[in-house]
């Protein structure tokens, strides 16, 4: 190989390697992140929450589902203002606007969702009719009952069949 080519190669290879090393951090600083947890109003983690981010900086929306610890993460977000929405059956939908994502920045959120179920006990119906003014009791027996019951065929025998 000619000496001139070798000299150019010796200069070019280190310059190329240095350029690639410098380009790595430059590419890493073009996006940001949103991460966080979704909690119930009592402070416990909520798994299975559908979390959505939307922005004019995005095409469409990005969707994530929280894990067992209620955590979510959105990577590779273009800088800008974002809206985040959390949805889970049995809880009020939560929306938070104005979340600013910057270059190579992580926005950490803790979202608290309120339950939509109420502890309300509704009793319908009416109490049974009870006569509290008298102490007498009574019973009414048909002729068929009188013939089928295994009691003596007297008035005293039927009195023992009456409640109370």
Question: 65, 48 in Cβ contact below 8 A?
Answer: yes
Higher pLDDT, 96 or 5: 96
- Of the chain, the end-to-end C-alpha distance in Å amounts to 122
Q: How many CB atoms lie within 10 A of CB 106?
A: 13
The residue count for the chain:
164
Least confident of 19-23, 91-95, 135-139: 19-23
pTM (predicted TM-score):
0.56
Residue 155, SS3 per DSSP: helix
Q: Is the pLDDT of residue 14 over 90?
A: no
Tokens of 66: 């929280």
Question: Given this structure, which CATH class describes domain 31-113?
Answer: mainly beta
- Band of pLDDT at residue 13, cut at 50, 70 and 90: low
pLDDT (0 to 100) of residue 55: 93
DSSP assignment letter at 23: H
pLDDT (0 to 100) of residue 39: 94
């Amino acid at each position: 190989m000619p000496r001139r080519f070798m000299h150019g190669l010796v200069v070019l290879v280190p310059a190329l390697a240095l350029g690639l090393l410098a380009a790595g951090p430059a590419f890493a600083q073009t996006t940001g992140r949103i991460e966080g947890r979704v909690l119930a109003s009592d402070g416990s983690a909520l798994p299975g929450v559908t979390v959505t981010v939307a922005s004019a900086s995005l095409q469409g929306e990005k969707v994530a589902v929280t894990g067992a610890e209620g955590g979510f993460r959105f990577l590779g977000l273009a800088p800008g203002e974002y809206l985040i929405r959390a949805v889970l059956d049995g809880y009020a939908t939560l929306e938070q606007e104005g979340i600013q994502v910057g270059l190579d920045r992580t926005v950490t959120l803790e979202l608290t969702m309120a339950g939509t179920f109420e502890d309300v006990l509704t009793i319908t119906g009416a109490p049974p009719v009870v006569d509290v003014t008298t102490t007498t009791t009574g019973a009414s027996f048909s002729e068929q009952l009188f013939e089928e019951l295994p009691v003596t065929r007297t008035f005293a025998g039927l009195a023992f069949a009456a409640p109370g």
